[in-house]
């Protein structure tokens, strides 16, 4: 006789980018084991495991490959909260050598949006660009190994359309090499406008405020990026 199947409770979350209500379930023990193994892997493997877990646990109702990175990070933290526990223990190293312990409630983690952020960027008076948000695997790759070439490549990949007074140019109609050549003709000031899009885009963030009980130093900083919550 087969053993009984356990019922898994479901929950709901609101997708940050669209305010869509998404139903999800916690990940199971067998899935958690895969996640733990992924912690010892490279950025590509972590990205693959995280997105596959989200896909399964949201009942394949989302187009995971098109989700913005902050959507993926937020969903994963919600999964982690309901699967392992809402509170995670963080250790902060003080300059004096003391270890500070901080209990972070994942339900307090929010997606922060800045008022001056826009995906429409006017490079000149007559030429503008519409950007898309980077995907999770693209952000993980940057976290893993940041260099100027990767940043430049990411900017080019996240261009959705270019427009001027006469035409609209779709990114899909051009090769990576053509887009990189297009960007290489920008002035530093013009390229800074594109970089500002990344610097102001929504981000999963939580403020950490802690006082060292050894030297009384005060640590006040923002915890952001899934790699810092990946515990």
| 74-133: pLDDT as tens digits | 999 999 899 888 888 888 788 888 888 888 888 888 899 888 899 999 999 999 999 999
Q: Is residue 158 part of a domain?
A: yes
d(CA 193, CA 179): 16
The set of residues, in sequence order, having a beta carbon less than 8 Å from that of 187 and lying 6+ positions away, is none
User: What pTM was computed for the model?
Assistant: 0.85
Could you tell me the two tokens for 26? 């916690």
Closest to 103 (Cα-Cα) out of 82, 84, 89, 85? 89
Q: Do 96 and 128 belong to one domain? A: no
Range(s) of the domain holding residue 215: 89-112+204-228
Q: Is residue 76 part of a domain?
A: no
Q: What's the structural domain count of the chain?
A: 2
Q: Do 224 and 168 belong to one domain? A: no
Q: Is residue 145 part of a domain?
A: yes
Q: Is residue 170 part of a domain?
A: yes
Q: Is residue 20 part of a domain?
A: no
The reported pLDDT for the residue numbered 22 is 96
Q: Is residue 222 part of a domain?
A: yes
- For residue 49, the tally of other CB atoms under 10 A from its CB is 18
Point out the residues of the chain with pLDDT beneath 50. Answer: 231
Q: Do 102 and 131 belong to one domain? A: no
d(CA 93, CA 98): 6
- For residue 61, the tally of other CB atoms under 10 A from its CB is 11
- For residue 44, the tally of other CB atoms under 10 A from its CB is 12
d(CA 224, CA 218): 19
Q: Is residue 133 part of a domain?
A: yes
Could you tell me the two tokens for 181? 């050549």
């Amino acid at each position: 006789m087969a053993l009984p199947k356990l019922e898994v409770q479901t929950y709901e979350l609101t997708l940050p980018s669209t305010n869509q209500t998404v139903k999800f379930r916690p990940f199971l023990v067998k899935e958690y084991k895969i996640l733990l193994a992924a912690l010892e892997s490279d950025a590509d493997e972590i990205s693959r495991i995280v997105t596959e877990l989200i896909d399964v646990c949201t009942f394949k109702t989302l187009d995971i490959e098109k989700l913005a990175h902050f959507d993926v990070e937020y969903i994963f933290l919600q999964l982690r909260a309901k699967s392992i526990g809402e509170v995670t223990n963080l250790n902060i190293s003080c300059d004096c050598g003391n270890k500070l312990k901080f209990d972070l409630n994942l339900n307090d983690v929010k997606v922060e949006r800045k008022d001056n952020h826009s995906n429409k960027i006017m490079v000149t008076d007559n030429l503008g660009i519409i950007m898309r948000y980077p995907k999770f695997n693209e952000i993980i790759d940057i976290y893993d190994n940041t260099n100027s070439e990767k940043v430049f490549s990411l900017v080019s990949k996240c261009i959705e359309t270019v427009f001027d007074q006469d035409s609209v140019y779709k990114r899909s109609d051009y090769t990576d090499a053509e887009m990189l050549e297009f960007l290489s003709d920008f002035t530093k000031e013009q390229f800074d406008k594109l970089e500002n899009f990344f610097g102001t885009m929504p981000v999963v963030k939580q403020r950490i405020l802690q006082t060292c009980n050894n030297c009384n130093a005060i640590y006040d900083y923002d915890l952001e990026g899934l790699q810092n919550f990946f515990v």
